Amino acid sequence: MLLIKSKFKIAKRLGAAVFEKTQTQKFALSEARSAMSKRGGRGGRGGSDYGRQLLEKQRVRFTYGLSEGQLSKYAQAAFAEKDPSASLYKTLETRADNAVYRAGFSSTRRAGRQAVSHGHITINGKRITTPSYQVKKGDVIAISEGSRRSPLFAGLTEEKEENTRAIPSWLSVDLPNLKAEVGGVPQYNPAEVGLDYPTVFEFYSR
């Protein structure tokens, strides 16, 4: 598992969106104050092409909680596809840990990764323990029967507005029964995703 020592320090460099924990008003205000204090001074890191590419690669890596080796492997495989950016995005989104997070069964991707690793998740009724497992159209993701009373999933079926999260169109979630079905394929839309995958491939093609 990828261990991250200081989410706030990394998010200040890569942007708040890389971690769910830093997507708060308090963090945004802190960033605004920091930007104002730096205004008129030297430019930050990432001004060169290489710096820009490295920054975007790191944003993708930390967003999905991947090691350098994992992201590099995914990128190399995507290079062979007709649309590398769409292929890489699909691969990352359809990881089991991310699908668990996207379905609303965990509060963060890291929690989703732990849920899968500890055997709390089933795919088509079969328990899995590999976070990188690739879900596909027609798969049913569920919290295992033996884990449904775990404190990890307490309150999931309660309709609380603060717990709601936008569910992507490729997932159909049945929250009362703690299951979700993969109904489609994640589509890469740069404006919606907020991550520049072509720039990531610029980094790996150097």
| Domains of the chain in sequence order | 95-157+164-182 (3.10.290.10)
- Flag whether pLDDT at 110 surpasses 90: yes
Determine contact, residues 4/10, Cβ cutoff 8 Å: yes
According to DSSP, the residues that pair with 172 across neighbouring strands are: 181
- Flag whether pLDDT at 31 surpasses 50: no
Q: How many CB atoms lie within 10 A of CB 5?
A: 6
- Flag whether pLDDT at 45 surpasses 60: no
Determine contact, residues 128/116, Cβ cutoff 8 Å: yes
Determine contact, residues 156/175, Cβ cutoff 8 Å: yes
Q: What angle do CA 122, 128, 134 make, to 5 degrees?
A: 95
Bigger pLDDT: 13 or 67?
A: 67
Determine contact, residues 200/53, Cβ cutoff 8 Å: yes
- pTM for the full model? 0.77
At 155, is the pLDDT very low, low, confident or very high (cuts 50, 70, 90)?
A: confident
- Flag whether pLDDT at 120 surpasses 60: yes
Q: Return all residues near 163 (Cβ < 8 A) that are at least 6 apart.
A: 104, 155, 156
